[in-house]
Structure 1
Amino acid sequence: MILEISNRQELFLPDQEMKEMFEEIIEKTLTYENREENFEVSLSLVTPEEIKELNKQYRGKDRATDVLSFPVEELFQPGEEKILGDIVISTEAVMEQAREYSHSVEREIAYLFLHGLLHLLGYDHLESEDKEKMRKVEKEILSQLEITRN
């Protein structure tokens, strides 16, 4: 498993501990999903302006959001690292939502990363039944990782 992080914002710098947290989230999620493939995931930490532009360009929504996911669907040879996709997180949204929900910045960014990762794996929340299923998985994985709201 490979995690590539691109930092395109200045609110905070992702350190080695944060990268290890993201890698652990990937590992737990893939184990939860019974997926044994080798995956590459890209994470970009961006400004509200950049995520707004991406949201407008790819989803037709002219507003900032907290997280976007871009799955990559390509054919790979057996044994090759499979590119699962890209996750884009607005760090300003992370900071605002952490304050709003009264939990740590680490918990909020972990949640948004997991949420984006589940989208890469095919989860969605357009229908209430799908939303309940996705929220249940998020809660279980965060609980396994002992990442709590407070």
Structure 2
Amino acid sequence: MSEIIRDPAASAPLPVEIDLLVEAGEWPPENELLRLVQRAVGAALAELQLDWTQSSELSIVFCDDARIRELNAGWRGKDKPTNVLSFPAFEFGQDEQPPMLGDIVLAAETVAREAELEAKPLEHHITHLLVHGFLHLLGYDHETDEEAEHMEAVERRALARLAIPDPYA
């Protein structure tokens, strides 16, 4: 499924084409997931004020814990499920926009369990993880305290645009 994203606050199309795949797991309907992806990416792009002139592609995969565990073991050497993984297609530079941003993969059971443990709506948690994963594709990271503070600040501001409370509070 592919669609051009629209900024939640504007009618002009944003320069990201989404390929969405529900591979496994219990997820909301695809049209709802696409809406969440559009809002998350639109809010992140609006917050970052990136001025792109051409379209890029973004792949989002909604899977289960078994599949993300395989990916996490194969790519990161961590034999356990995680909530979200990001796979950048290119090293992102602020000066140029790559034709393919990369892939974001989310795991159903872990995401649902975390949302329940944190007493937050599933939709809010999915949106937060989409923003988080998208920022990784754009070169953001949280390996150091300074990087984490910067990335989390961008996440908070992007989510605030969608009236989603601070996920780190």
Q: TM-score, normalised by structure 2?
A: 0.79
Q: Is 1:26 matched with 2:34?
A: no
- 8 Å contact kept, 2:59–2:103: yes
Unpaired runs of 5+ residues, structure 2, are 1-15, 92-96
- 8 Å contact kept, 1:40–1:83: yes
Q: 1:54 aligns with which of 71, 92, 95?
A: 71
Unpaired runs of 5+ residues, structure 1, are 75-79
| Aligned-pair CA distance for 1:69 | 0.2
Q: Over the residues paired in the alignment, what is the CA RMSD in angstroms?
A: 2.0
Name segments (4+ residues, structure 1) moved above 3 Å: none
CA distance in 2, matches of 1:73, 1:18: 25
Q: 1:12 aligns with which of 2, 8, 27?
A: 27
CA distance in 1, matches of 2:109, 2:135: 22
Map of 1:84 onto structure 2: 101
Matched length: 145
| Aligned-pair CA distance for 1:81 | 7.5
Q: 1:145 aligns with which of 154, 162, 165?
A: 162
Residues 1:59 and 1:81: Cα distance change in structure 2 (over 3 Å): closer
Percent of aligned positions with the same letter in both sequences?
34
Map of 1:135 onto structure 2: 152
Letter in 2 for 1:47: D
Between Structure 1 and Structure 2, which shows a larger proportion of helix residues?
Answer: 1
